[in-house]
Amino acid sequence: MSAAEAKTIDPQQRLALEMSYAACHHAGRAKQSLLGSDTGVFVGQCNNDWAKFSKERAANPYTGPGTHASISSNRISYSLGLRGASASVDTACSSSLVALDIACQKLGLGMLAALMTGVQLNLIAEPFVAFSKARMLAPDGRCKTFDASANGYVRGEGCGSALLQIAATAEDMAGPLPAIASTSTNQDGRSSTLTAPNGPAQQDAIRKALSIAELLGSQINLVECHGTGTALGDPIETGALKAVLASGRSMPVQLATVKTNIGHLEGAAGVAGKVPPNVHFAKLNPTIDLEDFAAEIPTTAQPLQGLSSFGFGGTNAHVICKRTAKVAAKRRVAFLFTGQGSQRIGMGQDLYASEESFRCALDVCAELLDPLLEKPLLDVLFKAENRELLDLTKYSQPAIFSVEYALSEMWKAMGIEPCAVLGHSVGEYAAAVAAGVLELEDAARLVAERGRLIAELCESNVGGMTACCLPYRDVLKVLSGLSEDERKQVSVAAVNGPKMTVISGRKDLVKQVVESTGAGNKELNVSHAFHSPLMAPMLESFRKEVASAKLSAPKVRFLSTVTGKEESDAFTNPDYWVRHVSQAVRFADGMAALEGVTQEAPEAYLEVGPEPTLVKMGKRCASGPASSKEWPWLHSIEPGQGEGNTVASALSQLQGALAALQYKRQPFPWRDAGPRLLRKRSEGPNEVLFDCPVRGDIFQVSAEHVVYNEIVIPGVVFVEMAMEAARAHLGPEAQLRDIQMVWPFVVPKDGDTDSKQMMMRLAIIGNKRFELRSQGPGDDAWTVHCEGRVEASGGGSKAAASIDPELTIEACAKRCPEQVDPAKLYPLVDSTGLWLGPKFQVCHDMCRNPDEISCRMQLNSDVPNQGYIIHPSLFDGTIHAVCATMFDQDPPFLKIFAGVGKVMVVTNEAPKDQAVILHLRIDEKTDQQQIFTCQVFSEAGTLLWRLEDVIFRKVLPEQIQKALAATKAKDAVSFFETKWKELPEVDADSSLLPSKDSHPSCCQSFPRPPGHSARS
């Protein structure tokens, strides 16, 4: 498909297509063998988040098919050329098992094969909010099926696919997947409620499946339950299982659910079913009745036999599986991590472009190492001009470590886990991470410091290294003939094979020893005499670095090349890693120890490094089965060969030819559900444009902000839109500066409701400044409402450093002794001509002194807060809290938000349903304006955002009315009707409310004094 189509369509369609292709490949069916065949496609999918997410986006030719669930199955049929029935199934949580049931029925009627897929991606927040309000989700985010602490389900994501066909022979049934004996589906029909589970209907579904499979309930010993962890559902399901399976049992039935491991995949729940350990089971839920029912909760993995899924609308499904012939276990693979000298410019560059797991791991290393290196890690690795840098010890060691860590993570992502690890020299650090001895952060730091200390403290070009074709013992004899002082300056650096020994030390002494042996030799191109006494100057400094690292016992076999044998506790001693710098690398002994334990010996060796060095040396060390020509000695990268091809070749030998499927992925990322207020993005000359229809969220968030009877979009909404655009275009560290409010935006009324006729546009110009513009129907020009500057950095985590210690929670509380009643604040604001509805009334628990204000702000519970950087109501509360200084003014004047010098948002995690704490300091105060600084914290004291040089300017009634009249002079449209409704008289503090003849009011949800009416 084209890039434009890939960007438009539901990611669930892309994922279902990919997994369906992988299922065919896994089944040994080439794409061509299925082309034009009577193969059906049945997809279980109940999530339509993408359609909701795309509703406000500009449509294109791919939008229609890209957002319909029916196309998920049809796209697979189209892409693979399959001519059988093609259907998407939505029965909520039972969707994928119902799809499986339909597929099995079609196979029974003669269909050649069937692809069954279940898919679920959770892309927007609204379903989480809805299910949370319905109290369906576990508050702690943990699924605790059958446990006494079970308190709700956890939403999960995933996709699974299988190619189904009739098994003609027992050989056809051999493999890692179970065979399906029977399937059944039914419906609750008329039951207690539409969404409540129905035990008798569940019993019927299970009995029907057993009948088709010609089995008794007592013959089922393992069931993957629907088991979502809800207080209502779990007892009903276990009751149904008890009614069907309890009678005549000779052994307990195991009741488990994968949901405790990966959550509830809803539409894909059935296809995810297997019987893993229940990871959150401690004590049986007391409401579950297991009396006279021999049942257990498995805490170890078990093979699947029965599988249930129940849709929350009452559609139930149950599947009976048969055990299949065992397949060979995975090969035991030893990872060999290459040492220094293997580095070269561009190592790993192909994999960085094509393998996401490799790229992500290398990016993490770069993030950790860049602060410790003078040049960025990726530049050192990939830029040709840094070729000489890469040979410097302070760069080569971190570079090799990073590439090897990324390779190790890539192999693990492909399913290749090491049974043992061994590292040569600096390669032992990547091996230590793979074995769990070192945390990545500590390992990266130690490697960087190791290289730096060698470069700075050990004299370069004084020492040398030479490889000799001579046994280790013969070299020792020659060394024993040297004087005591000479032996302190030269030694054996590595034993790489039966007749391969490396000598390291002072250059003249190395040359003397080599010439004394008379053996063939090769001088190595090195800057220092590694693994020799010449490393002594850096050892004590390095010891201090190692002392702060967390060292743990290895989780897999770890062969030490310092001792030449398998070690465990030795790796947890900091002294080991100090000795590792100067002592010999006993590679040959390590390989012998690795091969020597017969029952745990590797069945393949895989070099995890930039070139095949250790596999060549390892072959010379091998004496048992590994010495045969057929033995798999594999490597990850070979210079001059395509890195992807090398990986694919190794993978095929490790897992068999079917595992060699490699994707040439092209990412089409999207960070989240998009900015809350912005919509269509486009590019103009030197501009990035975001179009924003006034209807929808902009209108909804502004509807209770009324100035002299007119709904006026608050300036804080303009700032929120600018911040969303800046972050979408420049990244999460973007910040705004020098913002000015230019012209008010009055939402017009009493006109056509066609939302397309009123548009706002946020323009980022030259990556330096922004303008917020609007254009009404028939207008040729755009009106500018707000403008300012944008910067790509300074916000996010960097803004945390700007915290003002004078505006912290504790400091402000001490300086603001005077309590302010928030109930008086909003009537006071109302008396100036600005009416703020309940959505904007967020200030509580206020206190002040003449120049400072502190208060707690919280949104009303019915105000949605998802997707905003700073919710406009909280932002507006930040501004209008300063009105607490106006109580002494008589009469109070309307003051408006005129601009702000700097907006810095520290965290993306805007508080959801939580209070925030505002501290505001007035820096400048005149009759005409106030300029203040404020900081907003979470209740835990975390700085959320900071505003500097906020301008709050006085305007006379005639000034604001004139501006509003000028804004209304042109024809415009409306998104609401005006209706009048008489309200009952209420008691109110008349001293704080406007007089009867001042400005009319405009929202029935706010109480008015006698004689006033309201507009809804």
- Biggest CA–CA distance in the chain, Å, is 114
Write down the H helix ranges in 414-488. Answer: 427-435, 440-457, 472-480, 484-487
CA 119 to chain centre: 18
Angle at 396 between CA 391 and CA 402, to 5 degrees: 150
Any idea what the Cα angle at residue 120 is, between residues 119 and 121, rounded to 5°?
Answer: 130
Q: Which residue in 321, 322, 96, 319 sits closest to 209, CA to CA?
A: 319
Catalytic residue among 785, 876, 919, 999: 876
CB 528 within 8 A of CB 393: yes
Q: Which amino acid, 909?
A: E
The one catalytic residue in 26, 424, 705, 919 is 705
Bridge partners (DSSP) of residue 770 are 764, 788
Dihedral sign computed on CA atoms, order 381, 385, 390, 393: negative
Cα–Cα distance measured from residue 916 to residue 843, given in angstroms and rounded to the nearest whole number: 10
What is the dihedral angle through the alpha carbons of 672, 678, 680, 683, rounded to the nearest 10 degrees? Answer: -100
Nearest to 55 by CA among 17, 10, 91, 95: 10
Q: How far is CA 647 from CA 23, 433, 435, 806, 991, in A?
A: 21, 21, 22, 58, 80
Angle, to 10 degrees, between the axis of helix 440-457 and the axis of helix 539-547? 160
Residue type, 10: D
- Closest residue by Cα to residue 425 from 587, 594, 215, 206: 587
Task: Specify burial of residue 487 (Cβ count, 10 A radius: 0-12, 13-18, 19+).
Answer: middle
Angstrom distance (rounded) from CA 88 to CA 72: 7
Distance CA 269, CA 733 (A): 38
Helix (H) or strand (E) holding 619: helix 614-621
Cα 246 from Cα 252, distance rounded (Å):
9
Q: Look at residue 343 and give its three-state secondary structure.
A: coil
Q: Is 845 a catalytic residue?
A: no
Angle at 467 between CA 461 and CA 470, to 5 degrees: 145
d(CA 765, CA 685): 9
Residue with tokens 């007089």: 995
Q: Three-class SS of residue 779?
A: coil
Q: How far apart are CA 919 and CA 215, in angstroms?
A: 70
Q: Which two tokens stand for residue 996?
A: 């009867």
705 is an active site residue = yes
Q: Which residues are catalytic?
A: 705, 876
